[in-house]
């Protein structure tokens, strides 16, 4: 019995939409903040399989979500490729040297860094019930490349977009390297017990149409095809944040099994543009959950109603914010489950 989330990703339409939230394992939870204060930094937690499994399970215990997303980060892939990675408190990630200062061939890869992550998946799978779906993930190549090139989060992903225009062959080599490592990493997660995987393309929205085809559609299609070859029964969820009008093309051309939708998309528009057999996931604005109030259950209802005729996984349009109150998450769940 696989559970309602996995069933939905495979095309079922349960009466109540299964629900999980992007970034559900993290800073809005007091029990996470406590463990983080005990253990020191974020990366220490990620590479400590027991702590990471505990954090992965925390939101399931508290809220009974239908999916448990592996506690890790998309930047573990560059770290394993040999790039230096630090998370400085209050500043976000720093990767060094950047790919403006160094070549990929300067890096010494340490793929053993993936081993504790696979162990987190195994430990989590043992702790959650069989009705809860274990979700693995990786960043999509374009989004990961934007961090590897700039060395940090960047406004409009300018450094990566410039590199792609100035030296497309070098950009292609970077993206191809990320594809290869990500496929290995995702296969490892699935072999360890992940039942579905999500590809986070958080910065897909900054690309012009031809660039979107080359750096978003093609790499996500390549990863999906390779996962399908080795693990044909494991659903792949694509989340091209900010794709807007390019979403139907992304859905058609990448071959992903399910589509994650950001909060800017009108559910009625998505429903009319995607084939009815494709499961969708999303797309409540995380800031509405932070704000709360009567608009929260109303918006939940609108989203659920828009997708009543297709497989739909309830989620946010992006990660839950660290200042979101527990009460508002409870209201969201009551609205989804009572709806």
Instruction: Tell me the Cα Rg of the chain.
Output: 19
Number of residues located near ligand CP3, criterion CB under 6 A: 23
Nearer to ligand CP3, 71 or 307 (CB): 71
Phi-psi group of 40: left, alpha or beta (phi > 0 → left; psi -120 to 50 → alpha; rest → beta): left
Q: Is residue 220 at the binding interface for ligand CP3, with CB under 6 A as the rule?
A: no
**Rule CB under 6 A: which of 247-276 touch ligand CP3?**
none
Q: How crowded is the C-beta side of 310, counted as CA atoms within 13 Å?
A: 22
- Beta-carbon contacts of 115 under 8 Å, excluding residues fewer than 6 positions away, are none
**Rule CB under 6 A: which of 280-339 touch ligand CP3?**
319
Q: Is residue 26 at the binding interface for ligand CP3, with CB under 6 A as the rule?
A: yes
> Which is it for strands 280-284 and 312-316: parallel, antiparallel or unpaired?
parallel
One of 19, 74, 149, 284 touching ligand CP3 (CB under 6 A): 74
Q: Exposed, middle or buried by CB within 10 Å (0-12, 13-18, 19+), for 141?
A: buried
One of 64, 92, 97, 293 touching ligand CP3 (CB under 6 A): 92
Listed residue (240, 314, 244, 262) closest to 9, CA to CA: 314
In the shown chain, the binding pattern of residues 33 to 72 toward ligand CP3, with x for contact by CB under 6 A and - for none, equals: ---x-----x--------------------------x-xx
- Beta-carbon contacts of 65 under 8 Å, excluding residues fewer than 6 positions away, are 19, 20, 21, 24, 59, 132
Nearer to ligand CP3, 90 or 275 (CB): 90
Catalytic residue, from 147, 161, 285, 299: name it: 147
Question: In this structure, how many other beta carbons lie within 10 angstroms of the beta carbon of residue 90?
Answer: 5
Catalytic residue, from 73, 201, 257, 285: name it: 73
* Shortest distance (Å) from residue 306 CB to ligand CP3: 24
* Shortest distance (Å) from residue 218 CB to ligand CP3: 20
* Shortest distance (Å) from residue 9 CB to ligand CP3: 17
CA-based angle 96:319:148, to the nearest 5? 15
Q: Exposed, middle or buried by CB within 10 Å (0-12, 13-18, 19+), for 311?
A: buried
* Shortest distance (Å) from residue 320 CB to ligand CP3: 8
> Do 19 and 315 contact (CB within 8 A), yes or no?
yes
One of 153, 244, 248, 297 touching ligand CP3 (CB under 6 A): 153
Q: Check if 27 is active-site.
A: yes
One of 23, 214, 228, 231 touching ligand CP3 (CB under 6 A): 23
**Residue ranges with strand state E in 6-104:** 67-69, 84-88, 92-96
Q: Check if 147 is active-site.
A: yes
Q: Check if 23 is active-site.
A: yes
Catalytic residue, from 7, 28, 32, 36: name it: 36
One of 200, 215, 250, 314 touching ligand CP3 (CB under 6 A): 200
Residues that bind ligand CP3 (CB under 6 A): 22-27, 36, 42, 69, 71-75, 87, 92-93, 137, 139, 153, 200, 202, 319
Which residue numbers are catalytic? Answer: 23, 27, 36, 73, 147
């Amino acid at each position: 019995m696989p559970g309602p989330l996995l069933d939905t990703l495979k095309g079922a339409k349960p009466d109540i939409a299964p629900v999980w939230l992007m970034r559900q394992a993290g800073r809005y939870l007091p029990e996470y903040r406590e463990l983080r204060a005990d253990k020191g930094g974020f990366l220490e937690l990620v590479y400590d399989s027991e702590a990471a499994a505990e954090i992965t399970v925390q939101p399931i215990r508290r809220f009974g979500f239908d999916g448990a997303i592996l506690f890790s980060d998309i930047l573990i892939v560059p770290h394993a490729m040999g790039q230096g990675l630090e998370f400085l408190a209050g500043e976000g990630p720093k990767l060094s040297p950047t790919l403006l200062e160094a070549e990929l061939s300067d890096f010494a890869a340490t793929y053993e860094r993936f081993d504790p992550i696979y162990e987190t998946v195994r430990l989590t799978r043992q702790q959650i019930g069989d009705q809860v779906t274990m979700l693995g993930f990786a960043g999509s190549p374009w989004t990961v490349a934007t961090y590897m090139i700039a060395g940090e989060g960047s406004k409009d992903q300018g450094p990566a977009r410039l590199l792609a225009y100035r030296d497309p062959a070098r950009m292609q080599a970077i993206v191809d390297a990320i594809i290869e490592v990500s496929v290995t990493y995702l296969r490892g997660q699935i072999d360890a017990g992940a039942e579905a995987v999500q590809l986070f393309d958080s910065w897909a929205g900054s690309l012009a149409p031809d660039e979107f085809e080359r750096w978003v559609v093609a790499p996500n299609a390549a990863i999906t095809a390779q996962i399908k070859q080795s693990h044909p029964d494991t659903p792949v969820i694509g989340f091209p944040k900010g794709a807007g009008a390019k979403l139907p093309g992304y859905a058609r051309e990448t071959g992903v099994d399910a589509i994650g939708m950001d909060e800017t998309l009108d559910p009625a528009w998505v429903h009319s543009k995607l084939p009815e057999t494709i499961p969708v996931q999303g797309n409540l604005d995380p800031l509405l959950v932070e704000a709360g109030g009567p608009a929260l259950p109303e918006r939940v209802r609108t989203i659920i109603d828009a997708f009543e005729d297709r497989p739909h996984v309830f989620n946010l349009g992006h990660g839950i914010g660290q200042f979101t109150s527990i009460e508002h998450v409870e209201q969201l769940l009551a609205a989804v489950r009572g709806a």
